[in-house]
Structure 1
C-alpha cells in the first residue's frame, strides 16, 4: 500500500506541474505585470526546482498537511472534509441501489440459464453499461423532477436541511450512477453463480432434500462471493473517484465538484490533495476487500 501511494503521489505531483499554464498568472488576471506574477510564484514556491518542490511536498505530507488552497484561502484538508459528505453518501446510496438491482438479477439469470429471463437480464446489463450516467441523469431530472415534481432537480438542500431532505436530493444521482454500476456487478454475480451451481456440493445439497432457495443462497451464493465482493469493492472505489460528471450535472457540492473547480482555477494544492485522498481511499477499499476474503472463505486463510 505504501509503495503504491508513493508512486501515485509522485505521478500526481509531476502531472500537476507539467500541465501547461501558470497558476500565478491565472490568479492575478490578465492585467497583472510580469513583476507581480514573478513575486507570486516566489511566494507560492513555484519558481523553485522540481526536486525541491517535491521534497517540500513529501515533508508536508509526512506532517499530514496537504497545503492551503490558493483560491479558497483555507487548508485543503478542511475543504475536502467540508465536501466529503455529499460524495460519501452518494457512493453509499449508489452501492445500495446497484447491489439491490444486480445481486438478485444475477442470481436469477444464472439459475435460469439460457432462458428468456437470462437473455432479458443480460440485455439489461448491456444497456445499463452502455448508457452514460450523465445522460441518464438528465432523463431522470426531466421525468421525476421537471414533469412529475416528485424529487428536487439539483443541489443538496440548505445548511439546516434534514437527513431526509439530503437523501431526496441524492436519489436521482444515485439512480443514475447505480444503474450503470449494477451492470458489472450483475455480470460478475451471474458468472460466479454459473461456476458453482453445477459443482458437486450443490448437487449433494439438493440430494439431501434441501429447498432450492436454501441451496442457491446458502451453498451456491456463499461460495461465489469472492469475485462478487471484489467487484463491489472496486465499484465503490471507482464511484468515489468517478462521480465528477454526475455531481456537476446535479450541482452536488461534493469532492468531484471541488476537483473540477480546482482544475479550472489551477489550484495545485486542492488538485493534489483531492487526488491523493481518492487514491488512498481506492487502495484502502482494495485492502478491505482482501480482508473480507478471510471472513467469507476460510480456504483463503489456509492458503
Structure 2
C-alpha cells in the first residue's frame, strides 16, 4: 500500500512540474511584450520597463524560470497588477465561496445520482429506468448558466425564496452566506449529477448478474443487503472515479456559475483577471486549479486502496 501511494505521489509531482512549465511558457509566448500587453496601449515606455523589472521579465528565460519556480516553493505566486496585493492573498480571500459551492454541489449531485443510478440498474428496462435515463441525458445537455437564470427567475424573483445573487455582507454570519449558495449549488449539482448517475447505472449493471450476487440471493439475504452490501460495494471503483473527476470539474466549472450569481469566488476573480489581463492572477489561479485536480485524483487513488482490497495486492 505504501509503495502504491509513493508511485502515485511521484506521478502527482511530475504532473505538477509539467503544469508549472506550461504556465510559465503561456506568458512568454504572448504576442509582443507581455508587460506592454498587460498595461495596454496607453502605457509609457517607462511604465513598461518598470513592470518588466517587477515581473522579472528583464532576465534570461532560464533566470526567469528559476525565479518563478523559487517563488512557487516559497508560496509566492506574484503580485496582482490591478488588485495591488499578492496573488496568494487574492485567491485566499476568494476561496471560501468557491470551496463551499464545490462541496455543496458535489453533495447534491451524489445524493441525486447514486440512488437513482442504483434503482435504474436494479429495474433495468422499466419505465423508471427509461425516464431517469432520459432525464440524465437532458440534465447533461442543459447549460449551467441557462439553468441558473431559470432558477433565479423562478425561485428568487417570482417566489422570493432565495437571494438573486451575492454572498452576503463581509460580516454576515456563515449561515446567511451559505443561504446564498442554495441556488448556485443546486444548479451545479443537477447538471453534474447526470454523469455520476449514468456511471453508477453502468457499473451496477456490470455486477448485478455476477456469481457472488446470485450466491448472496440463494443464501436468503434481503434484496437491500444484496444490492447495497455486495453489488454496490464492488461497483464503487468506477463510481469513485467519476465522483472525483466531477469534483475536479466543479472547481473549474464554477467560473460560469459564479459569474451568473455574482459570487465573489475564485471563478469570478479569474474572469476579472482575464478581462484586465492580470497575468500573475491568471497564472496563480491556473496553478491552484491544476493542483486541486491532482490532489483530488490522488485522494481517489487512495480511496481505491480502502474500498477494494484487490487494489492493495
- In the other structure, the counterpart of 2:55 is 44
Q: Under a length normalisation based on structure 1, what TM-score does the superposition of the two structures give?
A: 0.95
Residue 165 of structure 1, CA deviation:
1.2
Q: Does residue 161 of the first structure (1) align with residue 181 of the second (2)?
A: no
Pairing of 1:1-303 with structure 2 (within 5 A)? 1-20=12-31, 24-25=35-36, 28=39, 30-302=41-313
Displacement of 1:251 in angstroms is 0.6
TM-score (normalised: structure 2): 0.92
Give the ranges of 4+ consecutive aligned residues of structure 1 lying more than 6 Å apart after TM superposition: none
Unpaired runs of at least 5, structure 2: 1-11
CA contact (8 A) 1:133 1:176 kept: yes
Instruction: Report if the CA contact (8 A) 2:27-2:34 is conserved.
Output: no
Residue 23 of structure 1 contacts residue 266 of structure 1 at CA under 8 Å; is this kept in 2? no
Q: Which whole-Å CA distance do the structure 2 matches of 1:96 and 1:21 have between them?
A: 45
Q: Kindly state the Cα deviation for residue 47 of structure 1 after the two structures are TM-superposed.
A: 3.6
Cα deviation 1:59-97 (Å, max 9, x = unaligned) = 111222112211111111111111111001000000111
Post-superposition Cα deviations, 1:207-253, rounded to whole Å, max 9, x if no partner, equal 11111111111111011011101111111011112211111111111
Q: How many residues align?
A: 302
- Structure-2 separation of matches of 1:182 and 1:22: 44
Deviation, structure 1 residue 55? 1.8
What is the alpha-carbon root mean square deviation over aligned residues?
1.5
Rounded Cα–Cα distance in structure 2 between residues aligned with 1:197 and 1:45: 60
SS of the aligned residue for 1:210 comes to: coil
Retained in 1: the 8 A contact 2:163–2:180?
A: yes
Contact 2:38–2:279 (Cα < 8 Å) also in 1: no
